[in-house]
């Protein structure tokens, strides 16, 4: 991951945003990391249906497996 000083980031902010890669950018102040800039991920729609045909559901997933008709022992 690339690093850049805060002052240099401030000077080149817009250009850095345009060239931001998937690894992102670490912003430092006096050599210590203070922030990480990552690109916004628009790929959330790929998650919908991604487990189709990979997960098998068995039984009643809405059941608690508690027998509500069970008689209490006296």
Quote the CA–CA distance of 73 and 43 in Å, as a whole number.
55
Q: Is the pTM of this model over 0.75?
A: no
- Pairing label, strands 25-29, 32-37: antiparallel
Phi/psi at 9 (5° precision): -60, -40
| Exposed / middle / buried, residue 31 (Cβ in 10 Å: 0-12, 13-18, 19+) | exposed
Supply the pLDDT for residue 50.
79
pLDDT in tens, 17-43: 999 998 899 999 999 999 999 988 766
pLDDT in tens, 51-65: 888 888 888 888 777
Supply the pLDDT for residue 47.
72
Quote the CA–CA distance of 24 and 17 in Å, as a whole number.
10
């Amino acid at each position: 991951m690339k690093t850049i000083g805060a002052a240099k980031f401030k000077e080149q902010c817009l250009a850095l945003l345009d060239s931001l890669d998937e690894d992102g950018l670490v912003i430092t102040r006096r050599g210590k990391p203070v922030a990480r800039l990552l690109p916004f991920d628009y790929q959330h729609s790929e998650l919908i249906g991604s487990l189709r045909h990979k997960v098998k559901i068995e039984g009643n997933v809405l059941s608690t497996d508690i027998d509500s008709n069970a008689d209490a022992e006296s």
